[in-house]
A and B are shown apart, each in its own frame.
Chain A
């Protein structure tokens, strides 16, 4: 009975759908989180009669074929890279990106990771680091004597040192853009790494070459919409139940067969 296997692919797909949705809901309050969406595809079809097969010598042919599909598979879980809500926090090292682009983060193993999470801190040495403690790239160090830090929309970081009345420039934040943002690989910790599918990072200063500008004192929230997620969850759950019913229906048919003697 093919229907059993077909329905089991359906249950598998819905299970994965629920996993993706629950991860979105779990990360509803994660700064800079981008929601994922499960995308499905139908599987190969068994061609029992091909459309257009001849039915007589007069050239009449079958107008529609007889084909039976073999279920569904999850093809990808692309991230929806739309802008999340921007909330005011009034912390001087909270930075939100308005528009496209990612902050660059130096990983301990030497690689560069990318993030939309702009909740930065200062390390004991005064370096600007992410909340996980990884330095941002290019590295910017703010001396301990600085009283306040200002970050301009185009990424210029300046600090007021020793109560001077004019700020001193400490460096400029840079943003990376990708041709295919959805192709980035997530590595947890709000970080993404580049893949062959994302294309190479194009680094530029904010407000240039299609990158967004920066907003100091704001954080970008997750772009998860709880109502949509719950609606999707209900739909996935019902679809799972229906596929389970198909399995029991197919089982009932098999039972009818096996009782024949």
Chain B
């Protein structure tokens, strides 16, 4: 069971990263951005957009499967970990520079997510309620 959960979390992380990379590749390929149908058609015509959609769908089904067995607290935290794990991908694939402020921000966000995860886990123990905790999950951001 434990091994299955670890594999499930890694899959979730993989799908989330795939979605974000798909978004970025599609966005770059459709430059310049403009508020018109031309840009929208250009961006929707990029194969990478489907990578993003596939990542979304994969993440959704992995998340729903994980919630059947995983404690909500750690699941909640893991579902947001791509926020930090994406940084080395951005540096390597897109040559982005991760500055000190970004590192500090990432640390703050990660600490905040851990607090929220601990609260969810504690709430489940106290109330036996596993239904909440996913309200902030899902979505491109």
Q: Answer whether A and B are interacting partners.
A: no
Residues of A near any B CB (own CB < 8 A): none
